[in-house]
Amino acid sequence: MRQNSQHVSGSVNWDHFDELGKKGLMMYDQMTPAAPIYIISQAIVQETYEIYATIAAQYFKNTLKGTLNVTAGLGDMGGAQPLSITMNEGVALIAEVEEELINKRVSSRYLDLKITDIDKAIDQALEAKAADKAISIGVLCNAVHLLEHMVARNVVPDTLTDQTSAHDPLIGYWPHEMSYEFAKKLRVENPKQYTLCADNSIYRHVELMLELQRKGSITFDYGNNIRARAKERGLKNAFDGFVPDYTHTLFGQDKGPFRWLALSGNPNDIAATDELIINMFPENKSMLRWMKMAKEKITFHGLPSRICWLGQGEREEAGLAFNELVRTGKVKAPIVIGRDYLNSGSAAGSSSHGSDWPILNALVNIACGASWVSLHYHGTVNADNSTLAGMVIVADGTNDAALRLSRILRNDPYTGVMRPVDSGNKIPQRAARENNLELNFIFNRLASTVEP
Ligand code: NAD
């Protein structure tokens, strides 16, 4: 049983938070697992895939073929990077200090190769890039060392990011000026000294990323707070040149996450839904590439499930079509539909200051008849960092479900369009106009679909 409570803003420090946790009143739930239907690593592979697909569309003719994509960290979330890059047909070169994590990703087939020599790894990546071959290489080294070699050799990656856990230097970041074994000891024996060394490495790491960015790498942030940490350490220009994120480009095009799972537990039910989605939206090319690869490469954990990103209108159509599959007995049991926190109408972080949108999103989903609405905090950086709203709706084949699916799968994504338009964001404004999603129009549609 998850206990995922709210706390009053500003009232919680870590000691108080831990105390509440021990009493079973509060828990640290992180963003992705907090989603009411958690589908383990498939969600992060899909999210990372979409981010690279957006970069491919924006800079490289819709594919990463013939590009070198450099990053670091093969941990719980970062482990999704190699597969997401090769699914977009690019070359991935990824630094990771912990050998067993590289081995784990090779054995799960998320990563193609482990190489222990930095220059050999760079050479092999460049050969694959020249041959347009999609391959992922895990290099057993510190990210700082990999980037130093690249700068020294003037090898400029096409894209550059980082998924070490730099948000928590003591637990999540390995300093580069000592051996792995020494660092493990220092972390326990002198945490203060360790943190100082990690912060120095983070400073150097961001400095190198900025250097490669100036030479032409598309350099972007992956939500690990590395730039803020480097800035705190004294790197004044830590925020220069980085693209803050690509998910909002997708939100601006009114695309967003759509996930579902088969309550029957039967993988054939997901196969039936996969086929339906592929046939329904033949023009959504990046989704089709994802669906084809996901069928081959994603292993189910727990109940069989799937995620893909669909546009405004497509989610409603898909939900109604799933309801028909249940009604006509083409699948063995109801299908549960949700998304994760990743809908711009349902998440507010500390940079937004206000948390009106997730609360509005939750209220809209309650009014529209969702099966489950959750409202919770999330804190990568501290316990008081953001508010998120989750939503789940069950397609059980009934007429009532059809009505509710239609309302929810139209109005939940609408809040993700309204929000950036409302804040004056130019890209969503244009996308909203192109899709006839004027703000007044959305509010009117919203009002007309919710029962008084
Ligand atoms: P994790 O702690 O499981 O893994 C981090 C990995 O980085 C570890 O395997 C570690 O060995 C490696 N590492 C640390 N320092 C290194 C260094 N200097 N060189 C090379 N490797 C190094 O973390 P995770 O769950 O994979 O997440 C990574 C980060 O990305 C976190 O900060 C997380 O919050 C962030 N993240 C953000 C989003 C988002 O904003 N949407 C999504 C996913 C992850």
User: In whole angstroms, what is the distance from residue 304 CA to residue 253 CA?
Assistant: 29
Instruction: Please name the residue whose Cα sits nearest to atom 35 of ligand 1.
Output: 224
Give strand pairing partners of 311: 255
What pLDDT is recorded for position 239?
87
Instruction: Tell me the three state secondary structure of residue 346.
Output: coil
Q: Are 98 and 173 in contact (CB under 8 A)?
A: no
Q: How confident is the model at residue 312 (pLDDT cuts 50, 70, 90)?
A: confident
C-beta neighbour count of 53 within 10 angstroms: 24
**Closest ligand 1 atom to 80 CA:** 26
User: In whole angstroms, what is the distance from residue 62 CA to residue 40 CA?
Assistant: 27
Average pLDDT of span 326-350: 86
Q: How confident is the model at residue 253 (pLDDT cuts 50, 70, 90)?
A: low
Q: Is 341 in the pocket of ligand 1 (CB under 6 A)?
A: no
Radius of gyration, alpha carbons of the chain: 22
pLDDT at 179 over 90: yes
Give strand pairing partners of 55: none
How much distance in Å is there from the Cα of 150 to the middle of ligand 1? 21
Q: Is 223 in the pocket of ligand 1 (CB under 6 A)?
A: yes
**Closest ligand 1 atom to 164 CA:** 7
pLDDT at 343 over 70: yes
Give strand pairing partners of 255: 311
**Closest ligand 1 atom to 98 CA:** 11
Q: At what angle do helices 191-215 and 143-153 cross, to 10 degrees?
A: 30
How much distance in Å is there from the Cα of 300 to the middle of ligand 1? 23
Q: β-strands 255-262, 386-395: how paired?
A: unpaired
| Nearest C-alpha neighbor of 257 from the set 230, 231, 290 | 290
User: In whole angstroms, what is the distance from residue 82 CA to residue 104 CA?
Assistant: 13
Spell out the residues 6+ positions from residue 240 whose beta carbon is closer than 8 angstroms to its own: 210, 213
Q: How do residues 101-142 score in pLDDT, each as one tens digit?
A: 999 999 988 999 999 999 999 999 999 999 999 999 999 999
Q: Is 172 in the pocket of ligand 1 (CB under 6 A)?
A: yes
H-helix or E-strand spanning residue 321: helix 314-327
How much distance in Å is there from the Cα of 229 to the middle of ligand 1? 14
Mean pLDDT of the chain: 87
User: In whole angstroms, what is the distance from residue 273 CA to residue 278 CA?
Assistant: 9
Q: Between these two residues, 384 and 324, which has the higher pLDDT value?
A: 324
Q: Are 160 and 212 in contact (CB under 8 A)?
A: yes
Whose tokens are 């990463």? That residue is 64
**Closest ligand 1 atom to 342 CA:** 41
Q: Is 76 in the pocket of ligand 1 (CB under 6 A)?
A: yes
Q: Count Cα neighbours of 151 within 13 Å in the Cβ-side half-sphere.
A: 18
Which of 54, 76, 77 to mutate for ligand 1's pocket (most ligand atoms within 8 Å of CB)?
Answer: 77
Measured in degrees and rounded to the nearest 5, phi and psi for residue 395 equal -95, 100
Instruction: Please name the residue whose Cα sits nearest to atom 37 of ligand 1.
Output: 223
Give strand pairing partners of 390: 374
Instruction: Please name the residue whose Cα sits nearest to atom 4 of ligand 1.
Output: 75
Residue type, 358: P
Q: Are 159 and 220 in contact (CB under 8 A)?
A: yes
pLDDT at 92 over 90: yes
pLDDT at 82 over 90: yes
- pTM, two decimal places: 0.84
Token representation of residue 115: 């190489």
What pLDDT is recorded for position 381?
43
Q: Is 143 in the pocket of ligand 1 (CB under 6 A)?
A: yes
Q: Is 245 in the pocket of ligand 1 (CB under 6 A)?
A: no
Which of 44, 224, 382 to mutate for ligand 1's pocket (most ligand atoms within 8 Å of CB)?
Answer: 224
Average pLDDT of span 367-374: 92
- The CA-atom distances, in angstroms, between 378 and each of 27, 31, 273 are 10, 6, 31
User: In whole angstroms, what is the distance from residue 333 CA to residue 349 CA?
Assistant: 37
Q: β-strands 135-140, 91-96: how paired?
A: parallel
How much distance in Å is there from the Cα of 165 to the middle of ligand 1? 4
- The CA-atom distances, in angstroms, between 106 and each of 65, 70, 114 are 21, 17, 7
Average pLDDT of span 280-306: 90
Q: How do residues 7-62 score in pLDDT, each as one tens digit?
A: 666 666 767 777 877 887 776 555 555 556 778 788 889 889 989 998 998 999 99
Ramachandran region of residue 369, left (φ > 0), alpha (ψ -120 to 50) or beta? left
Q: Are 269 and 259 in contact (CB under 8 A)?
A: no
Residue type, 451: E
Q: Is 142 in the pocket of ligand 1 (CB under 6 A)?
A: yes
pLDDT at 65 over 50: yes
Q: Are 308 and 298 in contact (CB under 8 A)?
A: no
Q: Is 165 in the pocket of ligand 1 (CB under 6 A)?
A: yes
Q: Give catalytic residues, as residue numbers.
A: 308
**Closest ligand 1 atom to 168 CA:** 32
Q: How confident is the model at residue 1 (pLDDT cuts 50, 70, 90)?
A: very low
Residue type, 106: V
Q: Give percent of the chain above pLDDT 90.
A: 58
Q: How confident is the model at residue 158 (pLDDT cuts 50, 70, 90)?
A: very high
Q: Is 95 in the pocket of ligand 1 (CB under 6 A)?
A: yes
Q: How do residues 12-24 score in pLDDT, each as one tens digit?
A: 676 777 787 788 7
Q: How do residues 275-285 score in pLDDT, each as one tens digit?
A: 999 999 998 88
Q: β-strands 372-378, 386-395: how paired?
A: antiparallel
Average pLDDT of span 87-106: 97
Q: Is 73 in the pocket of ligand 1 (CB under 6 A)?
A: yes
Instruction: Tell me the three state secondary structure of residue 59.
Output: helix
